[in-house]
Amino acid sequence: MSANLQGLMTLPHIMIVGIGGTIASQRTDEGFKPSLSVKRLLSYIPEINNHCTFETTQLMNVDSSNLQPEDWEEIANYLITPLNSERFDGIIVLHGTDTMAYTASAVAILIRDVNKPIIFTGSQIPFSVFGSDARRNIIDSIRVIRETDFAESLIVFDSRVYRSVRTTKLREYDLSAFETVDPFPVAEIARRIEIIDQTIKTRSKKKSYFDGPLNPQVALIRIFPGLDPKFLESLSEFGYKGVVIQGYGAGNLPMLNRSLISSVGYLIKQNIAVVITSQCVFGRTELFLYEPGTELIKLGAISGFDMISESAVIKLMWALGKTDELSKISALMQENLVGEIYPFQHKSLREEQQRYSSENNP
């Protein structure tokens, strides 16, 4: 029976997990600080009791800028139990917006076979402040669990449903904080929930499991004109095992003055995995397209396809948690795990890259 039909007969039972963030903040002499518990937040929305039953856990209560990869692992590990319990129909994680896309993406990558919806939401305005968007975002999250069969790590914000691994925070002030790099969000929430992306995974009886750990020794570098190549090479001195480089356009790096090409080669010789992405928000890496990219392919750089920075960094941490062999890391990075690479581009980009490699390495 579909979730939306079942919801008409029985109320969904939801696990609601508190992490902190703006949604739980109150004003202090030092500025807004997370202090409200999940139970207290929900007590301000008594009408939700007519639409679901729930249990709460205050796993953390911090500003999301303080979260680290070790915290993502703790959150993902905690969610395994409610995912595999028949008592729960879904999970809502109340989280700060600054690093919500990171945590939601980490959960998507760390948990295999997600069998019910994991909804991340929060607010741009604290619940304690008049005009807060928290109430609407929480209600929308409950509706997604009640009215759909979704079974992925998702972000619900400003009446839209986003796939976490394809979503970034673009706006600090606007209530529409997040944006997908796909043509459209997964769904829009209005009088009913309009499903736009038909590739969304649905509920199953599979058992979810933790697929870690993460190796946090990964750097993220956005190149710019004037960047000293020695800075890039110095990453090896600080124990980094991988680096995601945001190149220009299709993944291009300078190869004349202050060339970074040889620096990439230096890092790879030090057994440091180098992933090239595009610093364009709406862009993709096509290393076989221009001369700088072809040089990077020859050196052994890994294409990030059209992964956003959040997903690429976390995925590289995940790959390094499994192996330190560059060829295996490359294979893992170019596998589309949970939709972090746009599926309609993934096949064609891999075919183009393989064709280029075969033609130039007979």
The C-alpha atoms of residue 316 and residue 340 are separated, in whole angstroms, by: 12
Q: Are residues 177 and 245 located together in one domain of the fold?
A: no
Q: Are residues 166 and 31 located together in one domain of the fold?
A: yes
Beta carbons of 21 and 94 less than 8 angstroms apart: yes
The C-alpha atoms of residue 317 and residue 359 are separated, in whole angstroms, by: 31
pLDDT tens string, the chain, 362 residues long: the values are 444 444 445 899 999 999 999 999 988 888 888 889 999 999 999 999 999 999 999 999 999 999 999 999 999 999 999 999 999 999 999 999 999 999 999 999 999 999 999 999 999 999 989 989 999 999 999 999 999 999 999 999 999 999 999 999 888 888 888 899 888 999 999 999 999 999 999 999 999 999 999 999 999 999 999 999 999 999 999 999 999 999 998 889 999 999 999 999 999 999 999 999 999 888 888 888 878 888 899 999 999 999 998 999 999 999 999 999 999 999 999 999 999 998 755 555 566 666 655 666 54
Strands (E), the chain: 13-20, 25-28, 31-34, 53-62, 90-94, 111-112, 118-121, 153-157, 160-163, 167-169, 178-180, 187-189, 193-195, 209-210, 218-222, 242-247, 273-278, 302-303
Domain end (from 210, 227, 253):
210
Phi, psi dihedral angles at 160 (to 5 degrees): -135, 155
Q: Are residues 193 and 222 located together in one domain of the fold?
A: no
Domain end (from 210, 228, 257):
210
pLDDT at 18: 97
DSSP string, 263-292: HHHHHHHTT-EEEEEESSSS----TTSSHH
Domain end (from 184, 210, 236):
210
CATH number, domain containing residue 346: 3.40.50.40
Q: Are residues 196 and 270 located together in one domain of the fold?
A: no
Q: Which residues pair with 55 in a beta bridge?
A: 15
Peptide bond into 254 cis (omega under 30): no
The C-alpha atoms of residue 237 and residue 266 are separated, in whole angstroms, by: 12
- Picking from 16, 128, 139, 169, the residue whose alpha carbon sits closest to that of residue 78 is 16
CATH number, domain containing residue 128: 3.40.50.1170
Q: Are residues 146 and 266 located together in one domain of the fold?
A: no
Q: Are residues 200 and 230 located together in one domain of the fold?
A: no
Give the structural domain span for 304.
218-360
> What is the count of structural domains for the chain?
2
- Picking from 193, 146, 175, the residue whose alpha carbon sits closest to that of residue 23 is 175
Q: Are residues 205 and 236 located together in one domain of the fold?
A: no
Say if strands 242-247 and 218-222 run parallel, antiparallel, or are unpaired: parallel
Residue given tokens 């590990």 in the structure block:
77
The Cα angle at residue 314 between residues 23 and 238, in degrees rounded to 5:
110
**pTM, to two decimals:** 0.91
Q: Are residues 159 and 275 located together in one domain of the fold?
A: no
Beta carbons of 275 and 283 less than 8 angstroms apart: no
> Which residues are annotated as catalytic?
22
User: What is the radius of gyration, based on Cα positions, of the chain?
Assistant: 21
Note the residue count of the chain. 362
Q: What is the 3-state secondary structure (H, E, C) of 19-49?
A: EECHHHEEEECCEEEECCCHHHHHHCCHHHH
pLDDT at 110: 98
Q: Are residues 192 and 238 located together in one domain of the fold?
A: no
Q: Are residues 186 and 305 located together in one domain of the fold?
A: no
Q: Are residues 132 and 40 located together in one domain of the fold?
A: yes
